[in-house]
Structures are given as C-alpha cells and as structure tokens.
Amino acid sequence: MHGPWKSMLVGCLAGTTIFPAFALDSSGTPYNSPRMNFVTHLECANCGARYDADKVHNLCPACQRPLWVKYDLAALKQKFPKKALFGRPPTIWRYLELLPVRDVNQIVSLTETITPILETKRLAAHFGVKHLFVKDESRLPTGSFKARGMAMAITMANHFGIQRVACPTAGNAGGAMAAYAARAGMEAYVFMPEDTPVINQKECFLAGAKTFLVNGLITDCGRIVGEGKAKKGWFDVSTLKEPYRIEGKKTMGLELAEQFDWELPDVILYPTGGGTGLIGMWKAFAELEALGWLKSPKKPRMISCQSTGCAPIAEAFKKNDRFAKKFEPAATIASGIRVPAAVGDFMILDAVREGGGVALATPEADIPKWMRLASSHEGIALCPETAVCFGALEVLLKEGKIKPSERILIFNTGAAQKYPEAVREQLPHVDCTKPIEWDKI
C-alpha cells in the first residue's frame, strides 16, 4: 500500500477480512489514480449559472437555489476504471475521484464505513414480497447517515480554511456537524427546535458545539443561522445551502450500486426531509451511467416517503407541482423528516418523477407500529423516519405500484436508539422482594 491511500487506511483495516474489494488488481498493487480531482465547476440546479469550484459558495447568488458539483465525466470515464476500487478501504472515500476532495490530507473522517445491505426475509414474508433489503445507515459515526454529508461538508470547509460552522437541525445533522467540527478543530454552532430528541441535544453538547434550543421549527432555526452569517462570521452548512453535503450523500448511491454488483434495485424507499440523500443518489446513478459502470440503463424508482404529520413533498407530488408549499402545522415524531419547507424541493420531485417513482405520506400514528414490526422481525433498530417507508411499501404493494417480485431497498437512515421519545410503551415491573408471579411472565 503506498501513496495517499496509506493514511486513509489507518483505522479501517478491521474491515479487510470481510470485504472482497480488497483484492489487488492484476499488476499486484492497488490502483493509484494519477489525478484525484475531476471537478470542473459548480452549477445552479435551477438557473444553470456556473461558478468557480475553487471558491466558497452557499446558494446560487443569482436565484438562491442549490448548486451542483459538476465533474469532467469524459475524463473520469477514461481515467477512473471500475478496477480502481480494488484494494481500497471499505469507506466512502473509496470513490475519491467522484468526490470533490482536492487533497486526501484534508479529509476529516471518523471512518465512514460502507454500510451493510441486509436481506430481510422475515419482513419480506410479512409483506409477501421476494426481495426486500434494508441498507443500515445506523452503523455510521453519530448513528445516522448525516455523517456522510457532514464528513464531506466539513472536509471541504477544512480545505477552504473555514474555522467556524453553523447549522439548523431537526436532530441528526447537528450531531454529525458537531462531531466532524470537533474532529477538525472547528467551532460549531447548532440551532434546534426545543422539542428535538434529547439524545440529539446532548450529543451536540458533548461534541463541544454551542447548542441552542429554539421555540420554533427547523425553518426558524435556518433563519437564525442565515442572519448570524454576517454577525458571527460562521459558514452555513444547512441542507443544500452549500454544495458538498449532497456529494457526501451521493456515496449511498455509489455504494449500493457496487454492493449490488452494478445492477441497481427496482425500487428505493427513502424517508424524505430535506431530500439530500434522494437527490444525491439520483446524481450518483447519473454519474455511474456516464462512466459506463451500470449493467443496465434502468434506474430505480425513487419513492419519497413522508409522514402525514409533515408531507410537503407528497402534497406537491399529488398536485403535480414542481415546488412544494410550506407544510403547516408540521408535527411528527420522526424528527429527521420534520422539514416543512425544503430548498431542494424541486430537485427531489424531479428525481422522483424522472425515474417513475412516487412521493407519498403514511399515517403519523402508525410510526411506532412499523418501528416495532420491522425491528422485532429482523433485529435491525429502525428509526422512526424509516418506519414511514414500511407504511409506504404496504400502500404501494396494495395499489400494484410495487410488484412482489421486484428488488426493493429501504434505507434505515438512523439508529432507533437515538429516539427514546418514539417508544411510549411502559414495560412491566417485577418485584424481586416477593415471590415471582410466573403466570405473568
């Protein structure tokens, strides 16, 4: 092992025995790209204006919409063969050429491991389907897939010499930002609704972020972060308000494609809040197609799943609108998808429509039921956000929009352990000072 990969391997070697991609290529040495960075420019997702990727950007200055990172896909196709992945560690950084990183020494990482795709036969039997998989993102640092986006955003902030970052959060984004900022030695400011799950509040505090509880929603927190930019000199890493969190979330798409041996599943169900993950995966599939890495041009249908307690994307989909209306009042125990207005609404809806998918909401009241059903059938600790995907699956199977023979992938975006509030059951007590009442056990 030589070159820049050497430093990236530290701390990752525990995965070598279980990950086949550690084989060496035919020359006997791991592939080492002569050129790491293929970014050409940034481009507005709405008006198409182009910007210099060597400068710090938030939203498009012209129209206040999100920016895409664009790559020289023709050069990548020539210089980044699939076999380049052989011998690389099982982390998100194995896709380095498809990422915006300029210098591997600037990477801020807690080892963002490749997350397992678990075949769930008991759940499949429950729903009467053949192939049901769960990609378990709860294994990532800070217990949710927000680690992917924040690892990338903080890496790029580090590259640009940014010292102070801030974000509004529904919960997990704050926790992840706080952790990566701590890892990079940056100052972090987190603003969250005062009813954010208590674990999220404490993880931000523990990671040393200046953490504030706001008597409003994430949109109110977002306004505060925006206003503080000038006053406090922090960089705003809000969802889609800087270009790099999408690139981090894009690794979900790259990764699942590789795990499925470049044959994408037929359907992907994804709990949608700000939508970075869904948008990122869709971008990943387009880039992989341009590279010629996919075995078939057929893309998965993206199912954007929400709760009836906060369903702006599902409502816009129903009305055939490209932009979503702010959803009020927004109330769901699935805090990660309590996003009443998403800046990337049109990007989510475009991705859903392009692939022939749907956006739909399932009843808020069913969330604990699905959490328990899925967790107890398979032992996977499913977060309340993912619970809505099971509600959606049931509906779409009934409507015939998903066929029982299809390959279905559900994202478990976070760890159930972070949501004690979502489980209300009182457990029975045993009095150990008295004879045990065995008939009650």
Ligand X SMILES: *Cc1c(COP(=O)(O)O)cnc(C)c1O
Q: Which of residues 407-426 bind ligand X (CB under 6 A)?
A: 413-414
For residues 91-130, which are near ligand X according to CB under 6 A?
Answer: none
Q: CB of 414: closest distance to ligand X in angstroms?
A: 3
**Measured distance CA(241)–CA(234) in Å, rounded:** 13
Q: Is 383 in the site for ligand X (CB under 6 A)?
A: yes
CB of 272 to ligand X, least distance (A): 5
Q: Which residues pair with 193 in a beta bridge?
A: 214
CB of 28 to ligand X, least distance (A): 40
Q: Residue 271 interacts with ligand X (CB under 6 A)?
A: yes
Residue type, 168: P
Among 115, 158, 196, 276, the residue binding ligand X under the rule CB under 6 A is 276
Please report how close the Cβ of residue 273 comes to ligand X at its closest, in angstroms: 3
C-beta nearest to ligand X: residue: 336
Structure tokens at 375: 């967790």
355 binds ligand X (CB under 6 A): no
> Given candidates 203, 242, 364, 385, which one binds ligand X under the rule CB under 6 A?
385
Stretch that binds ligand X, among 65-73, 90-98, 267-275, 391-399 (CB under 6 A): 267-275
CB 333 within 8 A of CB 364: yes
Measured from the CB atom, the residue of 146 and 159 that comes closer to ligand X is: 146
**CB neighbour list of residue 337: distance below 8 Å, 6 or more residues apart:** 170, 271, 272, 273, 306, 307, 310, 385, 388
Phi-psi domain of 111 (left: phi exceeds 0; alpha: psi -120 through 50; beta: other): left
Q: Which residue number, 182 or 382, has a Cβ lying nearer to ligand X?
A: 382
Q: Of 85-93, 260-268, 272-280, 359-367, which part binds ligand X (CB under 6 A)?
A: 272-280
- The candidate with the shortest Cα–Cα distance to 230, out of 54, 67, 58, is 58
Sheet containing strand 187-193, edge to edge, reads 210-214, 187-193, 164-168, 235-236
CA 286 – CA 408 distance, rounded (Å)? 20
Q: Please, what is the minimum distance in Å from the beta carbon of residue 13 to ligand X? A: 29
- Residue whose CB is less far from ligand X, 43 or 385: 385
Neighbouring C-beta atoms of residue 386, cutoff 10 Å = 32
Q: Which is nearer to ligand X, 9 or 214 (CB)?
A: 214
Residue count at the site for ligand X (CB under 6 A)?
18
- Tell me the window of 208-216, 254-262, 268-276, 368-376 that interacts with ligand X (CB under 6 A): 268-276
Contact 373, 394 (CB under 8 A): no
How far is 45 from 69, CA to CA, in rounded Å?
10
Binds ligand X (CB under 6 A): choice among 113, 142, 172, 196: 172
Nearer to ligand X, 98 or 278 (CB): 278
Q: List, in sequence order, the alpha helices (H) in 108-169.
A: 121-127, 146-159
Q: Which is nearer to ligand X, 90 or 273 (CB)?
A: 273
| Least distance between ligand X and beta carbon 237 (Å) | 13
Q: Which segment (29-37, 225-233, 266-274, 397-405) binds ligand X by CB under 6 A?
A: 266-274
| Nearest approach, Cβ of residue 31 and ligand X (Å) | 31
Binding test (CB under 6 A) with ligand X, winner from 89, 193, 222, 275: 275
Angstrom distance (rounded) from CA 249 to CA 351: 15
For ligand X, the binding residues in 208-247 under the rule CB under 6 A are 239
CB of 399 to ligand X, least distance (A): 23
Q: How far is CA 338 from the centre of its chain?
A: 15
Residue 323 in tokens:
């932009």
Separation between Cα atoms, residue 313 and residue 307, nearest integer Å:
10
With the C-alpha atoms ordered 352, 289, 149, 67, is the resulting torsion angle positive or negative?
Answer: negative
- Work out how close the CB of 174 gets to ligand X at its nearest, in angstroms, rounded to a whole number: 10
Alpha carbon separation from 51 to 15, 40, 194, 230, 268 (Å, rounded)? 39, 9, 37, 22, 32
Among 277, 340, 355, 357, interactor with ligand X by CB under 6 A: 277
Question: Which residues are bridge partners to 304 per DSSP?
Answer: 270, 359
- In angstroms, give the least distance from the CB of 274 to ligand X: 3
| Contact with ligand X (CB under 6 A) among 155, 211, 272, 307 | 272
What is the nearest approach in angstroms of ligand X to the Cβ of residue 217?
14
To which H or E segment does residue 9 belong?
Answer: helix 5-9
For residue 347, the Cα-to-chain-centroid distance in whole angstroms is 15
Which residues contribute to the site for ligand X (CB under 6 A)? Answer: 144, 146, 172-173, 239, 271-277, 336-337, 383, 385, 413-414
